[in-house]
Amino acid sequence: MEFFLESILNGICMGSIYGLTALGLTVIFGVLKVINFAHGSLIMVSMYVAYWAIIYTGVHPYVALIIVVPVMYFFGYYLQDIVIKPIFKAEKDVREPITVIIVTTGVWYILDNLTLLIFGPQYRGIQNNPLRGKMLDIGNMLISVPKLWGFVTAVITAAAVYWFLQKTRTGRAIRATSLDREAASLMGINQFKIYNIAFGIGTAIVGISAVTLVPFYNIFPSVGVLFDIKGFIIVVLGGLGSIGGAIIGGIIIGLIESIAPMFMTATWAEAIVYGLFLVVLFVKPSGLFGVKYDW
């Protein structure tokens, strides 16, 4: 029984990190109404930024947030401003420009291959990492400390994003733009600046998720692909544009991956995840926590 409870707790912790990686994706979709196929690559870039920040400064992995978050915010801000904004201007009458999907796919390949060219295919991990392998002993249960911190970080980040969107002037402008960008523009909101800010916030959230991953996960040029696929499953499962849905959807995936191997092979566990994804698409395409409006 304790082993089963241990699997549940570790599944919740890892699933919350999955949800955190998907939260940036759902924020971007909620405003821009486009699927960012470069999301996994942004996770990879964030992990490299966190890695080098920790290596060169020697700070605690979580202290690296003060470097990673602003760097990734401005990276996302100018990626949207330089690469994606011209598409929105060229297709201003289209609510969900399909061309953006093609462009972000190109960004995905460019970032992955550029990273491979610069850093090589080697797996990297933080040496002298105070969190790697550290476990919290509760009775006869062992809970991963890095994943537990990831759970705390995910909850705090989701709450902060929700508060920002609900209570701040910029947050309300983001919500207004997500609902009706033409009406928001008529009210004096610069929709393209809001797009930049939203993309920057989504990318900064990706940076936070990368900091939670670096203490226990290896870094390599194609690492983002693993989280990219899960990210899309989670946002569809939780509901496109739903902040809480992203975290809960991630926890559901984490629980399946943690508990299912106790009764079947890991391959079947993955099959259950994809099967659940297809069921949700057929039964409730808006997701488990999807609502009529995005925010």
Q: Kindly indicate the confidence band of residue 154, based on its pLDDT and cuts at 50, 70 and 90.
A: very high
Tell me if the domain spanning 2-118+142-283 has CATH number 1.10.3470: yes
Q: Compute CA 159 distance to the chain's CA centroid, rounded to the nearest angstrom.
A: 15
Residue 295 pLDDT: 45
Domain ranges of the chain: 2-118+142-283
Average pLDDT, rounded, for the chain: 87
Q: Kindly indicate the confidence band of residue 285, based on its pLDDT and cuts at 50, 70 and 90.
A: confident
The candidate with the shortest Cα–Cα distance to 233, out of 288, 165, 158, is 288
The Cβ of residue 250 has, within 10 Å, a number of other Cβ atoms equal to 30
Mention every residue, 6+ apart, whose C-beta is less than 8 A from residue 73. Answer: 200, 201, 203, 204, 207
Lowest mean pLDDT among 58-62, 76-80, 149-153: 58-62
Question: Which pTM was predicted?
Answer: 0.91
The predicted-structure confidence for 43-64, as pLDDT tens digits, reads as follows 999 999 999 999 888 888 889 9
* Residue 128 clears pLDDT 80, i.e. is over it: no
The candidate with the shortest Cα–Cα distance to 37, out of 193, 224, 268, 186, is 224
Q: Average pLDDT of 24-33?
A: 82
The predicted-structure confidence for 232-252, as pLDDT tens digits, reads as follows 889 888 887 788 888 999 999
Lowest mean pLDDT among 47-56, 143-152, 272-281: 272-281
